[in-house]
Amino acid sequence: MAAGFARWGNDLYTGRRSYDVVGHRRRFYWVSAALVVLSVVILLVRGFNLGIEFRGGSEFTITNPSSLSQTEAAEAVADVAPAEAPRISTVGTSSLRVQTVELTEEEVVDVREALAEAYGVAPADVTSNFIGPTWGEDVSQKAIIGIVVFLLLVSVVMTLYFRAWRMALAAILALFHDLVITAGIYALIGWEVTPATVIGFLTILGYSIYDTVVVFDKVRENTDGVLSQSRSTYAERANLAINQTLVRSINTSVVALLPVAAILFIGTFVLGAGNLRDISLALFVGMTVGTYSSIFLATPLEVSLRTREHDVAEHTERVLTSREPSSTVPETTADPVPAGASSRQYTGQLQPGGHLGNKAQPRRRKGGR
């Protein structure tokens, strides 16, 4: 199996095997657009289940209760504040957490005593504290500022590094796509949004942009001098770059997702609600969506933007026209007809699944360029 995967990766890199991602980019645009719209609808309808750090309120923690049943906690709170609907969750294997709206000092004392009595513990084993919403607002504000600054810096750095603002714009759109879909899935699941969740969202940005830059770097390498030859179009060279980095993207994603999945499993089924669960869910969803966008969205978007340029569009038309059966192609731009190829004139175009191995690779210029 490992040998087969390695052979598959080698065929993708050399061009013997290829998937026409760029050629079918409209399909992926529709898929991404549908997911983004659906995520926005979920956010508008369900909204986020904000944690106590953002909405404020009182929190009680019961250590070593006689049972982990949540019914006793709900009844204890109802005896003191009948109109309150507490949020109760299990923390680890030996604690319960009860969250309510802001209670008065007298109500806090009464709830602590009621919880201690309900679970057969000493009042000292029931701790309470108040968390104001201003702390969560401050975290949210700084997170938004951090995202804006990050996007601005990424735009400038990518524009300077790749010397093409289109790559920076495509990467920013892919990042927006990743964040919206991740937020929508998080809202759909209904887990509380905590500061750990915000950290997870911010971490997604770095991972997604890293994977996109890897693909873009190969695109730049393959498309260097593309306008000076008539063998392949800009879109075909970019599609070859996607195929050449596909195995690397898969390997990187699997290596990154395995430990995150383990943390998500432990945080969900072993430790219960907590920071590990919140951050790992955001990371798992964000990394998965980021891998998809770096392959099926970022580069196709860059190609769509680049092929709108006059010189690139003109070159593409010239190359495609040269492939017509009636066209005459100079011998210097044509490759030998491979075994089993059609009888029509073959000009060495990069047709997905029909490459010529190493002959399909962009020829490097002399002088190391």
What is the pLDDT, as a whole number, of residue 331?
43
Q: Which residues of 41-55 are buried (b: 16+ CB within 10 A; e: fewer)?
A: ebbeeeeebbbbbbb
Residue 297 lies in a domain: yes
- pLDDT range class, residue 361, cuts 50, 70, 90: low
Among the listed ranges 61-65, 236-240, 299-303, 345-349, which one has the minimum average pLDDT value?
Answer: 345-349
How does pLDDT run across 104-135, given as a tens digit for each residue? Answer: 788 888 888 888 888 888 888 888 888 776 66
Instruction: Flag whether 320 is in a domain.
Output: no
Query: How high is the pLDDT of residue 83?
Result: 76
Domain enclosing residue 157, as ranges: 7-50+135-311
pLDDT mean across residues, the chain: 79
Q: With 80 as the cut, is the pLDDT of residue 306 above it? A: yes
Q: Are residues 253 and 274 in the same domain?
A: yes
Q: Do the domain assignments include residue 300? A: yes
| Residue 222 within any structural domain of the chain | yes
Asked if 82 and 155 sit in the same domain, the reply is no
Q: What is the pLDDT of residue 34?
A: 96
Residue 42 has pLDDT above 90, yes or no: yes
Count structural domains, the chain. 2
- Could you tell me which residues are beta bridge partners of residue 50? 193
- pTM of structure: 0.75
For residue 322, being part of any structural domain is answered with no
Q: Which two tokens stand for residue 336?
A: 């030998």
**249 plus 151 within the same structural domain:** yes
Axis-axis angle for helices 299-306, 165-189 (nearest 10): 140
In a domain, 167, yes or no: yes
Which position has the higher pLDDT, 82 or 346? 82
Tokens 């209760």, residue located: 65
What is the pLDDT at residue 87? 81
CATH (domain of 117): 3.30.70.3400
For residues 227 and 154, membership in a common domain is answered with yes
330 domain residue, yes or no: no
Q: Is residue 116 part of a domain?
A: yes
Asked if residue 203 and residue 256 are part of one domain, the reply reads yes
More confident residue, 68 or 122: 122
